[in-house]
Amino acid sequence: MVTPSWRDLRPETAVSGEVSGTTRYIDIFQVRQLHTLQRPLTETAYEMAFLISSQVMELYFGLLCHELARARREVVADDVPATLRTLRRSVGHLRALEATWESYADMTPLDWNPIKAKLGKGEASSVHSYMFRHLAFLLGQKSPEMLEPHRSTPLIHQGLHEALSAPSLYDEVLALLQRRGLSLPDSAVHRDFAEPYVARPEVEAAWVRVYHDESFADLRELGEALTQVADRFHRWTDAHLTVTMRTFGAKPGYAHTPAVGWLRDRLEQVVFPELWSARTTM
């Protein structure tokens, strides 16, 4: 008797994608295709959860790129109320993104090792998540060196290069502050956007003024919405580090770098830095 495989225990229709006829629901959400996008390589307990939560995270990276690009346009159009709505939606998406870690919160190295072995040691790394990189660039985390892993995919590399050189959401917010009469040095507003952002005392002072001066109440709300976005993004990054420590320990990661140390360095990179540092003098 052939032992049935434990690899994929979903209903046959999910695995094969075969559905006779269709419904509006199936068509709108592309349900047939969606369920055939998971190809587990092992029979281990956590692989399906790992595959699906990774795909869900990728989709959320895309959704956040969409929303934050919209917020950036709304800032350029001086439409603060619309930006606030978009950022509040984005905070909800970031909460959902963080919750996806729950699917394998208790995974141990013994559960993870066989999955990782099948992914290809040293080859498969999420540094190849180009959608995450677009998101990081939009949030102002500009790191030209993170284009390197995308050299073998020229169109993705080109798209990321353009995103690197474009103003981030925060760059456009600083331009808005300047348009609203706040004193910001030109070097903060007209800079080489491909270069990593450097926090400036003048920008910090501008935020302090925004928070104290009632005539800037709408900008203060904008500052708070941006702080929430940064906070929630940071929590996802922090949870990622914890998952890595639990499942991977201090093994070397992609390109033989010290994985946990590398992720800790990333965690140190504060999103919208002056919105945090300004609180000391408020």
Distance of closest approach, residue 159 Cβ to ligand HEM, in angstroms: 16
Q: 243 to 272, contacts with ligand HEM by CB under 6 A? A: 243-244, 247-248, 253-254, 257, 259, 262-263, 266
Binding to ligand HEM, residues 215-234 (CB under 6 A):
none
- Residue 129 interacting with ligand HEM (CB under 6 A): yes
Tell me which amino acid residue 210 is.
Answer: V
| Binds ligand HEM by CB under 6 A, chosen from 94, 112, 138, 206 | 112
| 103 binds ligand HEM per the rule CB under 6 A | no
110's CB contacts (< 8 A; 6+ apart) are none
Helix/strand/coil (H/E/C) assignment for every residue in the chain? CCCCCCCCCCCHHHHHCCCCCCCHHHHHCCHHHHHCCCCCCCCCCCHHHHHHHHHHHHHHHHHHHHHHHHHHHHHHCCCHHHHHHHHHHHHHHHHHHHHHHHHHCCCCHHHHHHHHHHHCCCCCCHHHCHHHHHHHHHCCCCCHHHHHHHCCCHHHHHHHHHHHHCCCHHHHHHHHHHHCCCCCCHHHHCCCCCCCCCCCHHHHHHHHHHHHCHHHHHHHHHHHHHHHHHHHHHHHHHHHHHHHHHHHCCCECHHHCEHHHHHHHHHHCCCCHHHHHHHHHC
Task: Give the angle 21-49-149 at the CA atoms, nearest 5°.
Answer: 100
Looking at beta carbons only, is 42 or 53 nearer to ligand HEM? 53
Shortest CB 250 distance to ligand HEM, Å: 10
CB of 135 to ligand HEM, least distance (A): 9
Minimum distance from CB of 244 to ligand HEM (Å)? 4
We find the least distance from the C-beta atom of residue 31 to ligand HEM, in angstroms, to be 22
Question: How many amino acids of this chain bind ligand HEM (CB under 6 A)?
Answer: 22
Annotate each residue in 7-46 with x if it binds ligand HEM (CB under 6 A) or - if it does not, as one string. ----------------------------------------
Residue number, 105 or 217, with CB nearest to ligand HEM: 105
The total of other beta-carbon atoms located within 10 Å of residue 264's CB is 15
C-beta of 271: minimal distance to ligand HEM in Å?
A: 11
Distance of closest approach, residue 195 Cβ to ligand HEM, in angstroms: 18
Q: Based on the shown chain and the rule CB under 6 A, indicate whether residue 132 belongs to the binding site for ligand HEM.
A: yes
Per CB under 6 A, the segment of 16-24, 84-92, 125-133, 272-280 that binds ligand HEM is 125-133
- Write out the residues near ligand HEM by the rule CB under 6 A: 53-54, 57-58, 112, 125-127, 129, 132, 240, 243-244, 247-248, 253-254, 257, 259, 262-263, 266
